[in-house]
Chains A and B, each alone.
Chain A
């Protein structure tokens, strides 16, 4: 951002940011991959929100009479169960529609937890510096060297599986990236003219952090957080698959795939469709996140 070249630095920042941002949005709006990703996401989010109304059947309703009904386009399929039924006769499509809620909820909330923790620690670490910085960065290094899935697995197991546990554990094992990036940006921004101008105007450290430094780290945070939602969805699915997910109360995509693993030789559709749902959702988020990075970060 060309802040230093303009006379009143704070004013320049305030004016330059929206211009750059709208340019980024326009660039994004013209990108076919980003549009496609956004459309898919809208459909998935809409499905999740409207799950109880659009799901053709009760996801928990069992019927041994129609167990292992194959998808409608194969021999023996039933139009009432387009994607078939599982080993106790539950409708796969309805379960997938309800599963979308868990995946998105966990993905987004885990990201929010990570952002809150990571951004706060990154701001503090970069702005305060000194011993605080050393300690925090050591913590980051240690967490970094731990395989995330392993850590999440162990803690979900120890705390007992529940939706809240999953969200917190995934949130608390994914914040290091934000801390690192925000810290690096704060270190660079701290020396900028507009920060000095703000200080000269008599602003306190907290106000400078909140109103002048934090807004300038937004674009990196947005990119990182989009991609993290995708990763959290994958991680949640992996945990459910391993049997330490959010419990048995709700159907989740990972659980459905785990079930499909057990019946892989008799009912191929059980594992295939929930996996496709994960693939499409995560792909859409990754597409949007990647194009967002291209649009927001002129360096790449």
Chain B
């Protein structure tokens, strides 16, 4: 709830920071007309009152009409939300698919060739701007080899490159966390006990070590979603995908603030609710934590 108010406060501040919204809405109108509109929109009232009203509307999904599309901003955002969510979920899935096995393997074989290659790749991956990765993928797969489409979101083939871009953006950090949280538990007493009992190596890793390494992994995966959504904005722009990110970027260029506010608010809400789910997962994963 506190976070919810905070998020709307920040979103509200965006419009305030832009200066006079009425000047944006009717750039050529005389001052007297502007004053009328300001009165009608309640912009003459104290900021606190305005914020109260903004918050009341925001929680019911009312952000006003888009200056540009002449349609409710909330609807425009929600229309595109599934695309963005599909992209992020696919990317997260790909990232986990890479990070889990490689991370576990390099923790088990710490210091060996695989581990060193993996650690090096993590470094490289974390230093690569995601939009550049995307363009390089386009260059190779779409321009050079003509295997996949350059942009769009219509066919399964067009989903491949954006997912790869966003997935490889997220995988390095996840891999790093998997590796370090596995390293932390792999030499603990209960893992050694399991080994001593004659439990197979595979079972030791999955049942005993991984289960206990899961907690930090879940935390970071949750936190990563914020970063991932930021990456999604970039990926959507690179590949011209009709998602919320691209909508926000376009709206920013058009100074279409209701859409910017609605988009930012809804994306932040996605992150906040995901973090809430992560908190709930804790209780399930770690019996030591119980709701007070």
Q: Report which A residues bind B (CB closer than 8 A).
A: 138-139, 141-142, 145-151, 153-155, 157-159, 230, 234, 237-238, 241-244, 254, 257-258, 260-261, 264-265, 268, 271-272, 275, 278-279, 282-283, 286-287, 290
**In the assembled complex, B15 has its CB within 8 A of some CB on chain A:** yes
Are B10 and A151 touching (Cβ within 8 A)? yes
In the bound complex, what is the Cα–Cα distance between A278 and B128 (angstroms)?
Answer: 7
Chain A hits for B272, CB < 8 A: 145
Interface of A is mostly: helix
Are B238 and A261 touching (Cβ within 8 A)? yes
Are A286 and B233 touching (Cβ within 8 A)? no
Are B17 and A142 touching (Cβ within 8 A)? no
Task: Specify which of A157, A254, A286 is in contact with B123 (CB 8 Å cutoff).
Answer: A286
The closest CB in chain A to the CB of B15 belongs to A158
Task: Specify which of B10, B15, B135 is in contact with A275 (CB 8 Å cutoff).
Answer: B135
In the bound complex, what is the Cα–Cα distance between A138 and B6 (angstroms)?
Answer: 9
Chain A hits for B2, CB < 8 A: 138, 141-142
Are B271 and A279 touching (Cβ within 8 A)? no
Are B249 and A275 touching (Cβ within 8 A)? no
**20 residue pairs A–B, Cβ–Cβ below 8 Å:** A142-B10, A147-B227, A148-B230, A149-B231, A150-B229, A150-B264, A154-B14, A157-B255, A234-B129, A238-B234, A258-B131, A261-B131, A264-B135, A264-B138, A264-B139, A264-B150, A265-B143, A268-B139, A275-B128, A278-B127
**In the assembled complex, B209 has its CB within 8 A of some CB on chain A:** no
**In the assembled complex, B87 has its CB within 8 A of some CB on chain A:** no
Known: A147-B229, A268-B143. 12 other contacts (CB 8 A): A145-B272, A146-B10, A150-B264, A153-B249, A157-B253, A157-B260, A158-B17, A234-B127, A242-B249, A257-B129, A286-B126, A290-B123
**A275 and B132 contact, Cβ closer than 8 Å, known pairs A142-B6, A146-B271:** yes
Chain A hits for B260, CB < 8 A: 154, 157
**How would residues 1 to 43 of chain B score, 1 for a CB under 8 Å from any chain A CB and 0 otherwise?**
0110011001100110111000000000000000000000000
The closest CB in chain B to the CB of A281 belongs to B127
Are A279 and B226 touching (Cβ within 8 A)? no
Chain A hits for B255, CB < 8 A: 157
Are A264 and B143 touching (Cβ within 8 A)? yes
Least distance between B25 CB and chain A CB atoms (Å): 15
Chain B hits for A146, CB < 8 A: 7, 10, 226, 268, 271
Least distance between A270 CB and chain B CB atoms (Å): 9
The closest CB in chain B to the CB of A154 belongs to B14
**In the assembled complex, B280 has its CB within 8 A of some CB on chain A:** no
In the bound complex, what is the Cα–Cα distance between A272 and B275 (angstroms)?
Answer: 36
**Which residues of B from 94 to 133 have beta carbons under 8 Å from A?**
123-124, 126-132
Chain B hits for A238, CB < 8 A: 129-131, 230, 234
Q: Which of B14, B229, B257, B267: most chain A CB closer than 10 A? A: B14
B interface size (C-beta, 8 A): 48
In the bound complex, what is the Cα–Cα distance between A260 and B130 (angstroms)?
Answer: 14
Are A287 and B15 touching (Cβ within 8 A)? no
Are A265 and B150 touching (Cβ within 8 A)? yes
Least distance between A68 CB and chain B CB atoms (Å): 15
**In the assembled complex, B252 has its CB within 8 A of some CB on chain A:** yes
**In the assembled complex, B158 has its CB within 8 A of some CB on chain A:** no
Are A149 and B127 touching (Cβ within 8 A)? no
The closest CB in chain B to the CB of A300 belongs to B180
In the bound complex, what is the Cα–Cα distance between A147 and B135 (angstroms)?
Answer: 23
Least distance between B259 CB and chain A CB atoms (Å): 11
In the bound complex, what is the Cα–Cα distance between A148 and B229 (angstroms)?
Answer: 10
Chain A hits for B230, CB < 8 A: 147-150, 238
Are A150 and B127 touching (Cβ within 8 A)? no
In the bound complex, what is the Cα–Cα distance between A264 and B240 (angstroms)?
Answer: 14
A-B complex: 3 closest residue pairs judged by Cβ atoms: A142-B6, A149-B230, A275-B132
Task: Specify which of B126, B132, B233 is in contact with A149 (CB 8 Å cutoff).
Answer: B233
Are A157 and B135 touching (Cβ within 8 A)? no
Least distance between B244 CB and chain A CB atoms (Å): 10
**In the assembled complex, B136 has its CB within 8 A of some CB on chain A:** yes
Are B249 and A147 touching (Cβ within 8 A)? no
The closest CB in chain B to the CB of A258 belongs to B131
Q: Which of A142, A147, A155, A287: most chain B CB closer than 10 A? A: A147
In the bound complex, what is the Cα–Cα distance between A241 and B134 (angstroms)?
Answer: 12
Are A142 and B139 touching (Cβ within 8 A)? no
Chain A hits for B257, CB < 8 A: 158
Least distance between B264 CB and chain A CB atoms (Å): 5
The closest CB in chain B to the CB of A282 belongs to B127
In the bound complex, what is the Cα–Cα distance between A150 and B249 (angstroms)?
Answer: 9
Task: Specify which of B17, B130, B237, B248 is in contact with A155 (CB 8 Å cutoff).
Answer: B17
Are A260 and B127 touching (Cβ within 8 A)? no
Chain A hits for B6, CB < 8 A: 138-139, 142
In the bound complex, what is the Cα–Cα distance between A265 and B143 (angstroms)?
Answer: 6
The closest CB in chain B to the CB of A243 belongs to B253
Least distance between A244 CB and chain B CB atoms (Å): 6
The closest CB in chain A to the CB of B4 belongs to A142
Are A242 and B136 touching (Cβ within 8 A)? no
Are A272 and B129 touching (Cβ within 8 A)? no
